[in-house]
Each structure stands twice: as structure tokens, then as C-alpha cells.
Amino acid sequence: MAQPTEVTDFEVPGHVPPHMVRDWAFATAPGALEDPFSALSVLYDGPDIFWTPRVRFGAPAWVVTRHDLICEIAKDPATFSSTYQSGFSQLIGEDWDLIPLEKDPPDHDKYRTLMNPLFSPRQVARIEGSVRGTAERLVRTLAAQGQGDLMAGFARPFPVSVFLSLMGLPAELTPQFLGWEDGLLHGKTPEDRVDAAIAIKQYLTGVIAERRRMPTDDLVSFAVTSKVDGRPLDDEEIMGICYLLFVAGLDTVASTLGFVFKHLAEDQANQRLLRDEPALRPAAIEECLRAFSATTSHRLLTRDIDFHGAPMKAGDRVTVCWALSGLDDREFSDPRRIDFHRENIRHTTFAVGPHRCIGSHLARRELRIALDLVLEHMPNFRITPGERAVTHATGVFGVDYLPLTWG
């Protein structure tokens, strides 16, 4: 194996050419606290592929900046594996996969076939009434205050409540789950993340045991009564499914809601357009999904490969930042402009390839319900004078604080 070369305060593996090294991290990029998506634009001025020492939890990875390269990686799971991409079970000294996210084909396909019907448009239509009811309660409570933090009052509790209802768990657990979610995904210290990971696992273990004794019609019951390869799922597989549903649907929806409403608060003309022309709302949601793509995926090289001039080695990590795909000016003209009449809105925010998001129909429904309700109950909302929104670019990009005033 080649010897590492010392560049500055980090080591570069011998197979990485020095001209492909760029010391860059999403979380600390200049401007990430005001607008993570603007902070990314500097990357398009550099090479399409580079290696950075601390992009992922402080660990090294290759980063690809262009839409077509990102799609190529996502569609080639034999070379770019999804194993170990979250690190959640390893965080607590265990070794089970999030299912189906961390499974590669052909194994992946059987879990996906099992789970696809759970989130089909028909299934989503079935739960729409309860999702809308939850959203309406939260929006009405917040709206009555005249001003407040949209994240704390609505965008964060809403997807948690939807998750609890899908899992057949009581809505009273919302604050508890919000705390665990915050610890796991945004914990200030490694201990915070570990404590939250253990707490979630312990809680889900209890629920799984309970549903094994007495199945109902919720998702946990579905998992405990399902079979793959003609045998029932084992405890680790059920945990992998339940745990993924917890982490997959919370931050993603909350973040997207945060960025959508931040944009509409800052751009009164676009807000008026959606009030005056409700028929534009589906296109507006797609345009916002394109421009505010909040998730980043990770892949692990299974073999040595020359990827468009980058000498990648088996065991290297690749960061797939979906926002870089949505903001690529070779794919979308004037990509930073939010244009609800844009013709090409075929974005990759829900991924492409075998892992494309299973919850996209549910997510789109949640976004639409939220958009309708906030526009209805919070007239002329804007950033509260003297305050400012706070965002982050660690893990899933998101909005921490969105102080709005309306009426």
C-alpha cells in the first residue's frame, strides 16, 4: 500500500493525488449558518470530484459535485455500497443494518419489495385524514399566538406525530421522541448521541416485544408478522426497519418544511403567488425540494476504480450530497432562483437508484398539507423584525430557528 503524504495538519492516503485534495466540510463552510445552500455554491468553482479529510463525522471522503456523477454513483450499488452509511448501531457497539437503507442488492430488493406497499400512494391516502388532523391542531395553536418559532411550534413536532401514529404509539410521546431525535441527530457531544441511540433502541425493543405478544395494525406489527425468504424477520431485522423509519422521516420533513417557510417568509412575492394561485402549490413544492435538498448519503467503495479521473480505492468513502445535484447549473438553469414556473423540476432529492426514497409520497403529502394550512392560518408571514433564522449544515441540513410574525 502507498505511504500517506503529509499535506497540512491532516494525512492524505498515498493513492489520492495532491491536486485532488481540498480541505472542506459542509458543517463549517463559510455562510452555512445563514444558508447552507449558498455555502455549497463555492464547490462548483473547483474540480467536479475532490477528496477531503473531514467531511463525514470528521472522517475523510471523496465528494462529487455534479448531478450526472451523483446519479452514476447512486445507480451503481455494486461499486458504491450503502453498508455502514449511518453508523447508528456501531455507535452503541452493535452491528445491525438500517433496513433497507444499508442493504445492497440483491438482499436489498427483498426488503424493499416487502416494504413498498406500506408507503404507496393508496396507503398514504388512507392516513391522510389523521395526518391533516395532527397538522391542523399544531398550526392552529401556533397561529393563535401571532408570532413564534415555526420549527418548535410546527415543523419539528409534525413529522414526529406522523411517525408515532404510523407506529401505533401514543401522541403524548411526542416530546420524548423529539428529545431523542435531537440527541441522536444533533447531539452536542458523542455521549449525547450514544445516550439517545440507546434510549431509542430500548424503547423500540419494548414495543417490538409487545407487538409480538399482541399484533395490531401498525407498522411494528407488520414487521413482526412479515416473512423474507419464507422465514419470519428476526429481532435485528425488525429493529433495523423500525429504527430507520424513525430517523428517515423526521429530520428530512422538518428540514424541508423549515427551508420552504424560510424562503416564503423572505420572498413575499412568491408567498403571494401561492396564495393567489393555489394550483401552483404542487410545482412550488417540487421546486423547493430541488433547491433545498437537505439530505446527504454516503457510499463505500467495494473495489478499486478510476472514477472520471479520480483513483478511488476499495474502502474509500464517497459523499453523495443531493443538494449539489439540485443546484448544478449544468442541469438546472439559474439554479439558486426559486421559480415556481420552472420547466425542468426532475430533481434527485428523493434519490435515484435502488434506494430512492420509499417515503416520498408521504413526504409530499405532509409538505402539501403543511403549506395549505400555514398559508390559510398565518396571513402574510415574515421573519420577525430584529430576529433572524438560524440554519445548520451538519448531517441533514436544517433550520434550527425560524422566528415568524404574521397577520
Contacts with ligand HEM, residue ranges (CB under 6 A): 74, 82, 100-101, 112, 119, 244-245, 248-249, 252-253, 256, 294-295, 297, 322, 349-351, 355, 357-359, 362-363
Pick the closer one to ligand HEM by CB: 143 or 244.
244
Pick the closer one to ligand HEM by CB: 161 or 297.
297
- Least spacing, CB of residue 18 vs ligand HEM, in Å: 30
DSSP label of 344: -
Task: Indicate the residue type of 347.
Answer: H
Task: Judge if the upstream peptide bond of residue 100 is cis by omega within 30 degrees of 0.
Answer: yes
- Least spacing, CB of residue 285 vs ligand HEM, in Å: 10
- Least spacing, CB of residue 369 vs ligand HEM, in Å: 13
Task: Judge if the upstream peptide bond of residue 106 is cis by omega within 30 degrees of 0.
Answer: yes
Cβ neighbours for 260, distance < 8 A, ≥ 6 positions apart: 285, 288, 292, 367, 370, 371
- Least spacing, CB of residue 26 vs ligand HEM, in Å: 15
Cβ neighbours for 342, distance < 8 A, ≥ 6 positions apart: 283, 287, 290, 332
Distance of CA 89 to the CA centre of its chain: 18
Pick the closer one to ligand HEM by CB: 196 or 358.
358
Cβ neighbours for 299, distance < 8 A, ≥ 6 positions apart: 73, 80, 81, 82, 85, 317, 318, 320
Separation in Å, CA 283 to CA 121, 132, 278, 342 = 18, 20, 10, 8
The residue whose Cβ lies closest to ligand HEM is: 359
User: How do 296-301 and 231-232 pair as beta strands?
Assistant: unpaired
- Least spacing, CB of residue 107 vs ligand HEM, in Å: 11
- Least spacing, CB of residue 323 vs ligand HEM, in Å: 10
Pick the closer one to ligand HEM by CB: 52 or 325.
325
Pick the closer one to ligand HEM by CB: 1 or 78.
78
Q: How far apart are the first and last CA of the chain?
A: 65
Pick the closer one to ligand HEM by CB: 359 or 403.
359
